Chain A
Amino acid sequence: MQPANLLLLTLVLAVVAYGLGYARSRALAMPLGGIRHLKSLPFYYGARAALWCGIPALIVLALWAAFQGKVIQMLVIGSLPPEMIPADEGSASLLLSKISNVASGALPPGFVEAPIVEAAERLKALREQSRMLMTALVVSVAVLAGFLGWLRIRPRINAREQVESILKWLFFACAALAILTTLGIIFSVAFETFRFFEKISFVEFFFGTSWSPQTALRADQVAAEGAFGMIPLFTGTLLISAIAMLVAVPVGLLSAIYLSEYANKRVRSIVKPLLEMLAGIPTVVYGFFAALTVAPFISNLAASLGIEASSQSALAAGGVMGIMIIPFVSSLSDDVINAVPQSLRDGSLALGATQSETMKKVIFPAALPGIMGGILLAVSRAIGETMIVVMAAGLAANLTANPLETVTTVTVQIVTLLTGDQEFDSAKTLAAFALGAMLFLATLLLNVIALKIVRKYREQYD
């Protein structure tokens, strides 16, 4: 049976165990004079039987599915004649894919050597056996454990506590899954980053002011020297993010203040969803809006003022990104401002403060931690944004603070480094991971700072 079907079967068995456990607990309760003589409600006895039935079986299933491939491969390779046993990992994986292609029928047996055909037959047989064994094992574990759970239903046993503690561990497992995924990402990035720094020095990467990720294919190639200084990329990112925040923070914050304090219900019910629609526009659409409309407009405007401007500029990308981010700032700030208790507004108004004084001196300070949170969220969004920048800001890594010039960002370079065919041992490809790690560290740092600020204000205000 396929693992997916087996999973379904196990769930069905668990449901059956629940039903049987429920029925048995009721049956046991009746002679005693009703379910109030049980330690727990019938639901908990049923749930316990279901958990006993399901969890061990699912663990067996997961372990089997995870390891069967490796074990079968080892068995197949071990059965080959000694002269065919591959020496290194690369040829082993080539051989294995050949064998499995023959087994699946993609490669006609006439094209390969006899031992491989034999190995393919063996692979097929092993897979079949493994599948049957797995089905038998999982079903018997489920039935056995479920039966045990069913048997151990007694009025004196407190099933509720057991179910609660099992559920606690289940929830913990779910939380741990998210953390483990993050750890996995960190390790995969860190590993490649480490390999990158074996090729390129720290000093060049962190302090180099020129970025031109080239690696020579031949020793005598022209312009074989690559430069891997990340400073132009990070200044580009910062420049564009700063422009985006200059647009998004004032507009977003002021519109949040308007919506929460001044607008009447009808205006609010129309304007707020419209503003939030901005966040729903795909970034690629923003991208061509920036590239085809805003960037030419800016360069024409600059030309008419006699200033030189590139047709792809940081200003265009940053400005459009800022518009994209407005709803992040406005929506979160609006929620936070609304959460400030009405009693504070009343208190201020009753002292003769005007609406704007109340806003400025009471509500805004009280809402500031939340607003900061919203802004920092928007900053992380701006730093991570890629599409708009790819389309509107260009690819040239200029080290400049002039918003009218073309710049590039960390994310854009990661995209260009990893698109197309890449070899995973060149510094050019590995640089993408190093940049990713730096970006990750930067946003992490930002979040830590955000938390610090929020905590500081919270202490002050609670």
Chain B
Amino acid sequence: MNTLNTTVTSEAEMPEENVVPVQEDKPAETVIEEGKTVGRPFADDAKFKLRNVEVFYGQDRAIKNISLDIARNEVIAFIGPSGCGKSTFLRCLNRMNDSIDICRVKGSLQLDDHDIYDPKRDVVELRARVGMVFQKPNPFPKSIYDNVAYGPRIHGLANRKSDLDEIVENSLRKAGLWDEVKDRLDATATGMSGGQQQRLCIARAIAVSPEVVLMDEPCSALDPIATAKVEELIAELSESYTIVIVTHSMQQAARVSHRTAYFHLGHLVEVNETNKVFTSPEHELTESYITGRFG
């Protein structure tokens, strides 16, 4: 397997993948060679360095030998059919899988050259640096203000009430929500619309000044207008954060991400610049997926 290379993976690998003749309409029969990822999975300025990652649910191997770099301040999209492991992989990055008893993670996962799964590692500190936004908006049943202030409070980021007010206002501004809610910060968050709730969750995540924001299908429960707002927000946030987004919408991946990673049955099949993935995919599975033959 290739290590750290920033150029396009050599063409020589391609024939190996194409050994098995592929029948039309049955792309799933393509053999995927484990640990082989075509395209450009590695980066120079890596925020996350993930090598030979495997995830097990009991006896089930959900993630099969994936290696990937996530660069600083890039937006990378994970796409793939349902059950391909993209969410599982995402949840490894801030150890959200810890709460699942039967889940085991193997391999080397590093954030800024420090092992994420080091037993001595403080998960609280990790999650403060790697925030997460979920599929369904999950605001706490508290006021809008308390939702955003939740993270800063538990991490002791503000010494005075005025500091906290400032953090809350800044986060809401960054999330493009300030003008909509500034007059009703005491109103309960669960009374907002779905799109507002999701932007509130983003504001809540960035209120602790994370370095990375993980987004697990953040728009799947939203209508097109709310989706457009969240996508706009992602574009703005990409200036200061590293963003990993799982999405089912290929248009969304094309719109917001710099690089796109295609997952298939627990394998990482192809990673490349987004426009390349969508215009000239190297792997036939990727092509089948983006042209809508399955998934």
Measured CB to CB, the residues of A under 8 A from B are 264-265, 341, 343-354, 357, 361-362, 365-366, 460-462
Q: Which residues of B contact A354 (CB under 8 A)?
A: 124, 154
In the complex, which residue of chain B has the Cβ closest to the Cβ of A354?
A: B124
Q: How far is the CB of A95 from chain B (nearest CB, A)?
A: 70
Q: Contacts A361-B154, A460-B188, A461-B188: A350 and B131 contacting too (C-beta < 8 A)?
A: yes
Q: Contacts A460-B188, A461-B188, A462-B190: A347 and B101 contacting too (C-beta < 8 A)?
A: no
User: Could you tell me the distance between the alpha carbons of A350 and B94 in the complex, rounded to whole angstroms?
Assistant: 8
A350 touches B205 (CB 8 A): yes
Q: How far is the CB of B246 from chain A (nearest CB, A)?
A: 14
User: Could you tell me the distance between the alpha carbons of A100 and B190 in the complex, rounded to whole angstroms?
Assistant: 71
Partner of B150, one of A346, A348, A460: A348
A346 touches B96 (CB 8 A): yes
Residue B38 at the chain A interface, CB threshold 8 Å: no
21 contacts between A and B (CB under 8 A): A264-B101, A343-B138, A344-B140, A346-B132, A346-B134, A347-B204, A349-B127, A350-B96, A350-B132, A351-B208, A352-B128, A352-B151, A352-B154, A352-B208, A353-B154, A357-B154, A361-B140, A362-B150, A460-B141, A461-B141, A462-B190
Q: How far is the CB of A341 from chain B (nearest CB, A)?
A: 7
User: Could you tell me the distance between the alpha carbons of A451 and B154 in the complex, rounded to whole angstroms?
Assistant: 33
Q: Which residues of A contact B201 (CB under 8 A)?
A: 347
A346 touches B128 (CB 8 A): no
Partner of A349, one of B96, B125, B139, B188: B96
Q: Contacts A265-B101, A361-B150, A361-B154: A347 and B138 contacting too (C-beta < 8 A)?
A: yes
Q: How far is the CB of B205 from chain A (nearest CB, A)?
A: 7
B142 touches A365 (CB 8 A): yes
Give 17 new A-B contacts, CB below 8 A, not counting A351-B154, A352-B151, A354-B154.
A265-B101, A345-B99, A347-B140, A347-B204, A349-B96, A350-B94, A351-B131, A351-B151, A351-B204, A352-B128, A352-B208, A353-B154, A361-B154, A365-B142, A366-B141, A461-B141, A461-B190
Q: Which residues of B contact A349 (CB under 8 A)?
A: 96, 99, 127
A343 touches B134 (CB 8 A): yes
B138 touches A346 (CB 8 A): yes
Q: How far is the CB of B193 from chain A (nearest CB, A)?
A: 15
Q: Which residues of B contact A341 (CB under 8 A)?
A: 138
Q: Which residues of A contact B139 (CB under 8 A)?
A: 347
B141 touches A351 (CB 8 A): no
- Residues 135-166 (chain B) with a chain A CB within 8 angstroms: 136, 138-142, 150-151, 154-155
- Residues 170-212 (chain B) with a chain A CB within 8 angstroms: 188, 190-191, 201, 204-205, 208
Which one of A264, A343, A344, A365 has the greatest number of beta carbons of chain B within 10 Å?
A343
User: Could you tell me the distance between the alpha carbons of A265 and B102 in the complex, rounded to whole angstroms?
Assistant: 11
Partner of A344, one of B125, B138, B151: B138
Q: Which residues of A contact B134 (CB under 8 A)?
A: 343, 346-347, 350
User: Could you tell me the distance between the alpha carbons of A462 and B201 in the complex, rounded to whole angstroms?
Assistant: 17
Q: Which residues of A contact B101 (CB under 8 A)?
A: 264-265
Q: Which residues of A contact B141 (CB under 8 A)?
A: 344, 365-366, 460-462
Q: How far is the CB of A147 from chain B (nearest CB, A)?
A: 59
User: Could you tell me the distance between the alpha carbons of A365 and B188 in the complex, rounded to whole angstroms?
Assistant: 13
In the complex, which residue of chain B has the Cβ closest to the Cβ of A264?
A: B101
User: Could you tell me the distance between the alpha carbons of A349 and B126 in the complex, rounded to whole angstroms?
Assistant: 11
A351 touches B188 (CB 8 A): no
In the complex, which residue of chain B has the Cβ closest to the Cβ of A345?
A: B99
* Contact code string B86-103 (vs A, CB < 8 Å = 1, else 0): 000000001010010100
In the complex, which residue of chain A has the Cβ closest to the Cβ of B132?
A: A350
Q: Which residues of A contact B127 (CB under 8 A)?
A: 349-352
User: Could you tell me the distance between the alpha carbons of A147 and B257 in the complex, rounded to whole angstroms?
Assistant: 76
Q: How far is the CB of A352 from chain B (nearest CB, A)?
A: 4
Q: Which residues of B contact A357 (CB under 8 A)?
A: 154
In the complex, which residue of chain B has the Cβ closest to the Cβ of A347?
A: B138
